[in-house]
Amino acid sequence: MRRRGFTLIEVVIAMFISAIMFAIGYSAITQALRDRDALNASQARVTEIQRGMRVVAQDFAQIVARAARDTSGTGQLMPAISADTRNDSVVTFTRTGWSNPAGIQRPAEQRVRYRYIDGSLVREHWLAVDPALNTEPRQRVLFTKVKAVEVRFLDPVTRQWSTEWPKTVLTGAVTPNTVDFLTIRPLAIEFTVVLEDWGRVLRLFEIPT
């Protein structure tokens, strides 16, 4: 009996159908990979924001009334908390509770500064509350894609919000009254960061007294 093979037309049709199926499968795989990359990027962004907010919350919860020496060489005693809207320094403060799992010889207190640099909120800290002259701090980026950062302070006396702290700048020799003034802490801190993709994120932190 004579066997009959595939005709040229049947082969062409089979190849055409296979090409269509391959194109559909390739598009589905490409879209799946694209969706996976977008999901990973979104998850990484959520993790970054959550981790950054956790650090901010831990810092503000551990603020302590401890003035610090200025590192620029002026010899001035800096407030426990200071904020000045005229530069890229968002807020500078002293915190306690600095964990030391390695048992390094250093205090549990830490001098911290938040800076808004090139669209990022950067956390800086020194290895000592009163570091040596012009000592460079260590940096860590808390948030990227930042459009603006604002910190407001609730005055314990006037019960008014202010973007600067302390509201009065002291000059001259350090006295006991001056030290008391430098260690005054606000009742609360309102922390607002405006992100390019998430918009405005606001947190209110009660400051321990």
Q: Which of the pair, 180 or 34, is modelled with greater confidence?
A: 34
pLDDT tens for each residue of 21-72? 777 777 777 777 776 777 788 899 999 999 999 999 999 999 998 888 887 7
Beta strand segments in 67-172, E: 68-69, 77-78, 81-82, 89-95, 110-117, 120-125, 138-143, 146-154, 161-162
Within a domain: 16: no
Q: Which of the pair, 131 or 194, is modelled with greater confidence?
A: 194
Within a domain: 187: yes
**pLDDT given at position 27:** 72
Ramachandran angles phi, psi of 208, nearest 5°? -65, 145
Within a domain: 88: yes
Within a domain: 97: yes
Q: What rounded mean pLDDT belongs to the chain?
A: 83
Q: Which of the pair, 180 or 123, is modelled with greater confidence?
A: 123
Least confident of 5-14, 41-50, 82-91, 120-129: 5-14
- Omega within 30 of 0 (cis) for the link into 166: yes
Within a domain: 28: no
Within a domain: 11: no
What does R_g of the chain's alpha carbons equal in angstroms? Answer: 29
pLDDT tens for each residue of 115-170? 999 999 999 999 888 887 778 899 999 999 999 999 999 999 899 999 999 866 55
Residue ranges in the chain assigned as alpha helix (H): 8-61, 176-182
**Integer Cα distance of 76 and 92 in angstroms:** 15
The CATH number linked to 173 is: 3.10.610.10
Tell me the residue range of the domain where 111 lies: 55-206
**Integer Cα distance of 113 and 91 in angstroms:** 6
Number of domains in the chain: 1
Residue 15 has pLDDT above 70, yes or no: yes
Least confident of 3-7, 77-81, 188-192, 203-207: 3-7
Q: Which of the pair, 102 or 13, is modelled with greater confidence?
A: 13
Q: Which of the pair, 5 or 21, is modelled with greater confidence?
A: 21
